[in-house]
Amino acid sequence: MFISIVLLCICICFLFVKLQPQRVNNFPPGPPALPILGNLLQLSLSNPLKDFERMKNHYGDVYSIFIGHRPAVILNGLKAIKEAIITKGSDYAGRPQDLFVNAIFQGKGVILADYGTNWKEHRRFALITLRNFGMGKKSMEDRIHEEIQYILKTLENSIGTTISPQTLFHNATSNIISQVLFNTRFEYNDDIITVIIRCITEITKYANGAWATLYDYLPMIQNLPLPFREAFKSHKMVQTFISSMVTEHMRNRIPGEPKDLLDCYLDELEQRGADSSFSHERLIGFAIDLYGAGTDTTSNTLLTGFLYLMCYPDIQERCQQEIDTMLDGKRCASFEDRHNMPYVQAMIHEVQRIANIVPLSIFHSTRKDTELMGYSIPRGTMIIENLTSVLNEEGEWKFPHDFNPENFLNEQGEFVKPEAFMPFSAGPRMCLGEGLARMELFLIMVTLLRKYKFIWPEDAGKPDLTLVYGITMTTQPYRMRVQVRAIQ
């Protein structure tokens, strides 16, 4: 009996050693991993950012973990991320295709699609179309200003009370990207926009949350009726909404006279023919990508921005003084006015740095055997950019851990953008919507600060600046008091 127990223990130990994930020769170091679970037990399911920081301090700027049996390399700091994502951008431009987010979106869009001809064609089309968005009689700037009027109307009706800005900013940014994509906006109390925004929020909540982590680490649970199925239901609802918009455009559009991005895509589809990568199925995935990303990231940046401006009223006041001076006599701000507002520019960029909206970017994968910082990285290795480590990096910022626009001002008070500022990531996979997001943030924040003063309610207790982790970071729910400024 004793011998049998000893033999059983030896067999278990042997299996444990054989099944334990192993790092290949010259692979980045990292913590030991368990069979099946990998490093799951060493990461917080609700927010792994502190765990990544702890591992960075122990293993260095480039280290590895195991997601189940699969190795992943975590990149920290400007030097490592720049080498991988910019210098060797094409080597690291792939996307892992077997994660939770890929299962939801099925790789049909442009954000999660793997690197290749189809992705290149769609990305080039999106960049050109968004850059030249003077379609019809409305430019991109006109569309943003049009939506700002609805924001102002909502705030005007809230004078003397407190308002929760979460819904307001989500509705506004959703309508702006909706105008770009569909030439359509929705009233803020419209059931359609309410449901779609809730679905997008639901997807982002799950995408980098605990259930997504379990889904990626434990393939055996992927078909079980667990809570992450809600994200699939939400995606189906968004897909149905986008499909209905595409059907309506196909029925009513005038070929060659595009009013929005969907019309442009359908024109492109007709010109290229059936053999191209353009298709109705890809159009739906493409539109879902742009709609979701265009709604969630900018609205959460605005929420962070106004929360911090209420907590730092001196910064808010200095911005308003610069706005008053530079816009004196002008009816409204234009995006070009940013060049004359160095402090406002610095404040907005500092908001983006602090907001750290997509802290782990979108995961990459290597397209071939390559190297990084002296380590060997095999083809197909998952790559995770820890953008938090760059946006807070010691030595790259004057005040890496404080909210201070001086991080973006030189000694002469001129606006400068440090190399470590990469909230949109960088390289071939840099965020498609950077231009639109920058324009939205500037025009919305300048217009609102010109007209109103934003005050933390006296009865609301101490502000909580702790951000809620997810595929996109957001603030804790909060309320604000809006006061009309005497000088405008």
Annotate 363-415 with DSSP letters as a single string: -EE-SSSEEETTEEE-TT-EEEEEHHHHHT-BTTBSSTTS--GGGGB-TTS-B
Integer Cα distance of 27 and 414 in angstroms: 43
- Nearest alpha carbon to residue 444 among 346, 303, 326, 339: 303
Tokens 């492109």, residue?
268
Low-confidence residues of the chain: pLDDT under 70: 1-20, 107, 133-138, 487-488
Residue type, 105: F
What per-residue confidence (pLDDT) applies to 332? Answer: 92
Q: CB 313: neighbour CB atoms within 10 A?
A: 13
Calculate Rg over the CA atoms of the chain.
24
For residue 470, give the DSSP letter. S
Q: Three-state DSSP class for 73? A: strand
- Going from the C-alpha of 219 to that of each of 102, 177, 222, the distances in angstroms are 14, 35, 5
Run of H or E residues at 482: strand 480-484
In DSSP terms, 453 is beta-bridged to 483
State both tokens at 477: 């729910």
Q: 441: which residues sit within 8 A by CB, 6+ positions away? A: 298, 301, 302, 305, 348, 351, 352
The domains found in the chain, sorted by start residue, are 2-484 (1.10.630.10)
For the chain, give the number of residues.
488
Q: How buried is 204 (Cβ within 10 angstroms: 0-12 exposed, 13-18 middle, 19+ buried)?
A: buried
State both tokens at 52: 């990544």
Distance in Å from the first CA to the final CA of the chain = 89
Integer Cα distance of 76 and 63 in angstroms: 9
β-strands 370-372, 375-377: how paired? antiparallel
What per-residue confidence (pLDDT) applies to 20? Answer: 57
Integer Cα distance of 235 and 357 in angstroms: 21
Integer Cα distance of 24 and 390 in angstroms: 27
